[in-house]
Structure 1
Amino acid sequence: MSDRPVSVGALLRATAPDRLPEVIAEHLRRHFAADRVEVLVTDLTLRRLAPLLGPPGPDSDPGALRCFGSQRPGTETDITGRARLHLPLSCWGERLGVLRVELPERPEPEQADELRIVADELAVAMRAADRMTDRYRRAQCLERPTMAAELQWDLLPGRSLGDDRFQLAGLLEPAYDVRGDHFDWSLLGDRLTITVLNGAGDGMESALLTATAVNAMRNARRCGSDLVEQAELASDAVHSRYGGSLHASTLLLEIDLISGWVDAVDAGSPHCMVGRGGEIEQIRLEQQLPLGMFGEARYEIERFRLEPGDRLLVVSDGVHAAAPGGGTTFGESALLTALRRTRLQPAGEAVGTVMRSLREFHKGYEPEDDAVTVCLDWRR
């Protein structure tokens, strides 16, 4: 019989942060008679998986990719009766990767439940260990990021979050060469704060601008400030550093997960849309000054309301204003089509669909800007 779930958690907590895959593989071999075990983590693009136990590089297992996309366990059995299980590794809605386990036979339901608990325990441990070892980040980077991209990725809160009230996901591209675009979020009780930011400039200067604005907003938020105070503190911080020569276009949202009311401060270029009943409508907000454009700028909150089942989408100008070759913009000609394709997809897959459509739109041209897409499904 396998150990009880608490034993797995205690085992992982007693393990060095960089040794979690080896310890869980040994546990599965000893208590579940597993022949082979692999821990796969997603790369920065969320399109490829990389092994932690096997040789470095992308893994081509289609079953693992299906499991990662659907976030549902899968079992395949060959003609000899041997079973290959794929178990999602996720923590508080954050998709980390897939645990692949090969067994002599298909597991009984009770054993399958225990294996899912092992995967859940491993995901929590890996999420906690990420700040204490470079092992998992190294596997994620199938290419070398620029210094600006490294800074931007380290600022992100994660790439998905959720519970029974909502599902939230964000994607930042091009993954290995981003500059000033960014998203942030925080959940506190029934209030969910989301910001999408587009920093001006290029390279490290743009990344440092974004870091200044994001950390100023976090500082205000963590001290209990509302959206106006968050925007004003960040604007003052950016202006103090750059004197108005650089600024950060930002959309700040705070969603009441009980009532659906959304407080918003529109300080620039990110666009906000709501999908409801098969239709997609842009939320028209009064565009206020980008953060840092002028000293002592003042901001006002606007409000709109979500309905249960609504999908809220926010895209940076690298999405809606993309115009490869100087033609029509993605927002004018292709964005709504891309968003309609996401109607039946979970939030984590929806952001990928939008970004794939954007890459197809750029076919033959290099993107001139980085891009952010954030998707929130409010279930109530």
Structure 2
Amino acid sequence: MTRPDAGEEALHEFLADPAHLTQDLPTAVTRCAKALGLRHAVVYLVDLQQRHLVPETEVAPPLPVDGSLAGWAYRTQALRVEESDSGGIIAWLPLLDGAERLGVLAVHEAALTSASLCRGRALASLLAMMITSKRSYEDSFVQHTRTARMRLPSEMLRAFLPPRTIGNDRVVSTAVLEPAYELGGDAFDHSLGRTVLHVSVIDAMGHNLASGLTSAVALAACRNARRNGGELPELVDAVDSALAQWLPEQYCTAVFAQLELAGGLLRWYNCGHPAPLLLRDGQVVTDALECDADPPLGMPSRLTTEPRRVHEFPLEPGDRVLMYTDGVTEARTREAQLFGLERFADYVIRATAGGELAPETLRRLIHSILDSQTGQLRDDATILMFEWRPPAP
């Protein structure tokens, strides 16, 4: 029987000690790195807009996601190594909670060996779980990842949003939402069931607290119906009913969809929203997901007796589906031109052809839209993209 080495034994002792459960992150990093026999380690968390990697301690400055080796590790979700100015090397390891990118871990060592690399990876995995468990109730994580003051509607709505990226061995779903600190009524949701992926994109009327409330109620109603075992039609009915009861003067547009993970059948409702786009083999499949939209949710739905229509389309392995709000296509460039659907789709196609990961594609796309503006976005801009990638037979 093989005995664990000293580093493994020290890690076991650290994990068995209940005190580590209540320690702040910098202290836990120091203790765990020492237990593993690592020289030094620093956690860098990505900021809300994914432009900077911010250290959890004050011993180092923030690093740009674009233009640094640390950022390269974050963007590609892969190990990167460089020489340290103080001697030795720095191994940059991505911090991943499942498919969600949290930041990077810097491991400082005199030399990189297979043992130290293995321990660094173990530390990154442990810290990712620790960060995920603590960030929902420790404000220090939120404060580290914000670079501006957040307005009340945005604060309220962001409390309802899921992680930016989720996934398993069959599907990955990722989303971005801007402006980060001054949201109006845009929201997104995605969740994995045993056999399906649930996704939704919502755009509420207006750009104020009532708009945020509308989206928050819509998200809550959808989740409540879903977690009570409701199928897709019940989810949409639940949102209509909730808005009619609690916010009778408000309404929102939305797309609610379910993807069967085994066979790739996509089913969706379009409630007054821009139609999703299907990308296959490096091009847009024209009109594949186009359909006559039903009325928006809430007040407009009470003006018609027509039932809402469910739509179906079979996906093929590798297909990507883009859902978005009109703030994306109606954004204007510095030349006062609309960003437009064609430019939007072309960007994603080129990124896909280059083998770029889905979360990185959306990060760079939303930055491209923001950087092309002459000022603030005229409307919220939300993009959600999911990719069906079943295991090969």
TM-score in same-fold range (> 0.5): yes
User: 1:91 matched to which residue of 2?
Assistant: 97
How far, CA to CA, are the matches of 1:109 and 1:332 in structure 2? 48
How far, CA to CA, are the matches of 2:202 and 2:243 in structure 1? 13
Q: CA deviation at 1:255?
A: 0.4
Q: Is the 8 A contact 2:275 2:291 kept in 1?
A: no
User: 1:246 matched to which residue of 2?
Assistant: 250
1:77 aligns with 2:88: no
Provide the secondary structure at the position in 2 that maps to 1:21: helix
TM-score w.r.t. the length of structure 2 is: 0.88
How far, CA to CA, are the matches of 2:177 and 2:104 in structure 1? 21
Residues 79-123 of structure 1: CA distance to partner in whole angstroms, max 9, x if unpaired? 9861101111111211111111111111x2133122101111110
User: 1:374 matched to which residue of 2?
Assistant: 384
User: 1:134 matched to which residue of 2?
Assistant: 139
Q: 2:301 aligns with which of 291, 294, 297?
A: 294
User: 2:3 matched to which residue of 1?
Assistant: none
Greater Cα offset, 46-55 or 79-88: 79-88
1:220 aligns with 2:248: no
Greater Cα offset, 296-305 or 147-156: 296-305
How far, CA to CA, are the matches of 1:252 and 1:361 in structure 2? 30
How far, CA to CA, are the matches of 1:324 and 1:238 in structure 2? 35
Cα distance change of structure 1 residues 317 and 229 upon mapping to structure 2, 3 Å threshold = same
Query: Structure 2 matches for 1:261-272, cutoff 5 A?
Result: 261-272=265-276
How far, CA to CA, are the matches of 1:140 and 1:11 in structure 2? 30
How far, CA to CA, are the matches of 1:217 and 1:315 in structure 2? 18
1:356 aligns with 2:367: yes
Q: 2:109 aligns with which of 90, 93, 103?
A: 103
Provide the secondary structure at the position in 2 that maps to 1:367: coil
Residue 294 of structure 1 aligns with an amino acid whose one-letter code is: S
How far, CA to CA, are the matches of 1:211 and 1:18 in structure 2? 33
> Could you list the runs of 5+ residues in structure 2 that have no partner in the other structure?
1-5
How far, CA to CA, are the matches of 2:378 and 2:295 in structure 1? 23
Query: Structure 2 matches for 1:1-380, cutoff 5 A?
Result: 1-3=6-8, 7=12, 10=15, 14-16=19-21, 19-34=24-39, 36-54=40-58, 58-60=62-64, 62-77=68-83, 82-106=88-112, 108-243=113-248, 245-281=249-285, 282=287, 283-292=289-298, 293-295=300-302, 298-323=307-332, 328-332=337-341, 334-343=343-352, 344-362=355-373, 364-380=374-390
How far, CA to CA, are the matches of 2:148 and 2:186 in structure 1? 20
How far, CA to CA, are the matches of 1:77 and 1:369 in structure 2? 44
Cα distance change of structure 1 residues 141 and 230 upon mapping to structure 2, 3 Å threshold = same
Greater Cα offset, 207-216 or 70-79: 70-79
Residue 357 of structure 2 aligns with an amino acid whose one-letter code is: P
Cα distance change of structure 1 residues 4 and 304 upon mapping to structure 2, 3 Å threshold = farther
> Could you list the runs of 5+ residues in structure 1 that have no partner in the other structure?
none
How far, CA to CA, are the matches of 1:9 and 1:274 in structure 2? 48
RMSD: 2.5
Residue 121 of structure 2 aligns with an amino acid whose one-letter code is: R
Cα distance change of structure 1 residues 165 and 254 upon mapping to structure 2, 3 Å threshold = same
Cα distance change of structure 1 residues 6 and 184 upon mapping to structure 2, 3 Å threshold = farther
Q: Is the 8 A contact 1:168 1:376 kept in 2?
A: yes
